[in-house]
Amino acid sequence: MNVWFWLFSILTCGIAFILFYRQNRPGKIGGPIALSKAIWLHYTLYTWFFFIPYAWIQYGADSIPSGDRHVWWILSGSMWARGIIELYMLFVSKNWTPVIGISHDVLTFVGMVVGYLFGDHAGWSDQPAVFVFTLSLFASLIAETHHAASFYLLMKGRTQGDDGLWYAHKGDPRFLRILRVTTACNAGLYSALGYFIWTWSARSGG
């Protein structure tokens, strides 16, 4: 790991908190967002879109078991493709619905399982940090599916149009359970990510 990695990581945290405060201004498209949801959004964007490709390149593809590599790339590649489509549907056509996201999550999860089964695997005995990180990616997609399904059950079609709401926020008591679950998921997933980064940093000398 080099100084640019750490600078970029810190920068993304700063941007996430700026966006959190901006999103909570009156009249912002998508509606207000709770802090736990902003932290969750940072985790998904940072881990799925940036950290997985960076780790695959810098950690050394040959040192990562093939099953784990499959999981990493299926998740990241699938989310990059979805991200482009979702941005268009949120800000241009304004017809995004959680059902689309949930369907995509399920298909991606199945692909990750298949990719993992058809490859070699890291474990506690040989590469515990890789094993934990890969396991956390499966957990992150389960969490994403849960969040989307819970939000959809509460909001139904209110995610579409100019007045669509995209985020759970603390001002609505209906979201309290979702926010508690999100906070717990954040703690577990950031711990797994931090463990992998710490182990990798120690191995590479910084």
Closest CA to 96 of 40, 29, 45, 41: 29
Tell me: pLDDT of 94 over 70: yes
Mean pLDDT over all residues of the chain? 86
Q: Contact, 166 vs 34, CB < 8 A?
A: no
Beta-carbon contacts of 74 under 8 Å, excluding residues fewer than 6 positions away, are 108, 111, 112, 115
Q: Give the Cα separation of 29 and 12 in Å (integer).
A: 21
- Distance between first and last Cα of the chain: 6
pLDDT tens for 124-136 read 777 899 999 999 9
Cα separation of 148 and 142, whole Å? 10
* Confidence at residue 155, expressed as pLDDT on a 0 to 100 scale: 75
The answer to whether residue 160 scores a pLDDT higher than 90 is: no
pLDDT-derived band at 32, boundaries 50, 70, 90: confident
The pTM of the full predicted model, rounded to 2 decimals, is: 0.89
Q: Does residue 167 register a pLDDT over 70?
A: no
DSSP state, residue 175: G
Residues of the chain with pLDDT > 90: what percent?
43
Residue 169, pLDDT above cutoff 80: no
Residue 34 pLDDT more than 80?
yes
CA nearest neighbour of 101 among 137, 32, 50, 150? 150
**What band does 64 get if pLDDT is binned at 50, 70 and 90?**
confident
Could you tell me the pLDDT band of residue 70, with boundaries at 50, 70 and 90? very high
For residues 45-69, give the mean pLDDT: 86
Per-residue confidence (pLDDT) for residue 137, from 0 to 100: 97
